[in-house]
Amino acid sequence: MEPLNQKKILVTGGTGYIGSHTTVELIEAGFDPVIVDNLYNSDAQVVDNIQKITGVRPLLEVFDLCDSVKLGKFILKHKDIQAVIHFAAYKAVGESVRNPIAYYRNNLLSLINLLDVMKRYEIPNLVFSSSCTVYGQPEKLPVTEDTPLQPATSPYGNTKQIGESIIRDTTCSDKNLKAISLRYFNPIGAHPSALIGELPRGIPENLVPYLTQTGYGIREELKVFGNDYNTPDGSCIRDYLHVVDLAKAHVVSIKRLFEKKNKSDFEVFNLGTGHGVSVLEAIRSFERVSGIKLKYKITGRRPGDIEKIWADPGYANTELGWKTLSSLDQAMKTAWDWEKMIRSNNL
């Protein structure tokens, strides 16, 4: 087989949170990633830090995938791309409720444009960034890949469901195309170097960035959205996995496609630890790794929140040969180190 380092992978959204960690892992596995990003929710400087970590500077082309003309020109310059990992998308649940058209346009048009050029230029392999949000509140836990999907509770979630359907239909119509959809549970933390991580713009919506910002004193207190759920301590339960573990799953998925180990043309994997963690347990973890007593108060439920969800990662464990390696505390520690790094560098 051709050596991996001759394999060029297009990483859309490669300067974003999960995209940047995946780019690092791809380089470390010997691949040649090229990034397309419109920098809507990220910074070109991320490429400098990927270079600091890996010693390799991935190419970054800044444009919007909704622009099919620019995408066509880009692919013409890079006809040797052999696979695509598609991260580029809007991802804020609340914002998607306020502005659904922007979400449908951005998340679906970019995917359609990509599939179009992949078909035209015979790029046969796609890994898609999906979410456990497609399961809604499942009746049975943990969630396997066979758990029935529920109607999406937000336009964002709907773009992931529709995105998967578009990809599945395209793989049916095009015998050359194979795709893997990775349904992420809740990624947290940052690279152990503290050189890349999540840079939330404005007030964070997600738990862990809010938690670390509160620990640092940027936010006055964390609001715990509800303690009257049907869970052991009353707060919601999620499956938090370290972003570096998640990034590695993309590398094994790409290898699976290259090595033609896929069992069907459209495969789905749940990526999580298999352990549910409550909001209050996440706070305890932060307190353990930071030595800080966190200021928080219990408030009302957040509309649209799911009570509890965690993955059965068994299929990913056996089929992909992938499993999470970091504990909650290890992941939380990297989130805290990253928060301190951002603040000391005024990012």
Contact between 132 and ligand UFG per CB under 6 A = yes
Residue 184 annotated in active site: no
C-alpha closest to that of 106 among 165, 154, 134, 66: 66
Contact between 40 and ligand UFG per CB under 6 A = no
Piece of the chain touching ligand UFG by CB under 6 A; list 5-13, 20-28, 128-136, 253-261:
128-136
> Considering 90, 103, 135, 156, which one is annotated as catalytic?
156
In angstroms, the first-to-last Cα distance of the chain is 43
Piece of the chain touching ligand UFG by CB under 6 A; list 17-25, 199-207, 246-254, 322-330:
199-207
Contact between 131 and ligand UFG per CB under 6 A = yes
Contact between 206 and ligand UFG per CB under 6 A = yes
Contact between 93 and ligand UFG per CB under 6 A = yes
Residues in the chain: 347
Q: Is 270 helix (H, G, I), strand (E, B) or coil?
A: strand
Would you tell me how many other CB atoms lie within 10 Å of the CB of residue 139? 9
Piece of the chain touching ligand UFG by CB under 6 A; list 16-24, 119-127, 202-210, 285-293:
202-210
Query: Tokens 């089929």, residue?
Result: 319
Contact between 223 and ligand UFG per CB under 6 A = yes
Please report how close the Cβ of residue 285 comes to ligand UFG at its closest, in angstroms: 13
Number of amino acids touching ligand UFG (CB under 6 A): 20
Q: 302-311 in b/e burial notation, b at 16+ Cβ within 10 A?
A: eeeebebbbb
Per-residue tokens: 115? 């599939």
Cα angle: 251, vertex 51, 320; to 5 degrees: 5
Q: Which residues are catalytically annotated?
A: 156
Binding site for ligand UFG (CB under 6 A): 91, 93, 131-133, 157, 186, 205-207, 210, 222-225, 236, 238, 279, 302, 305
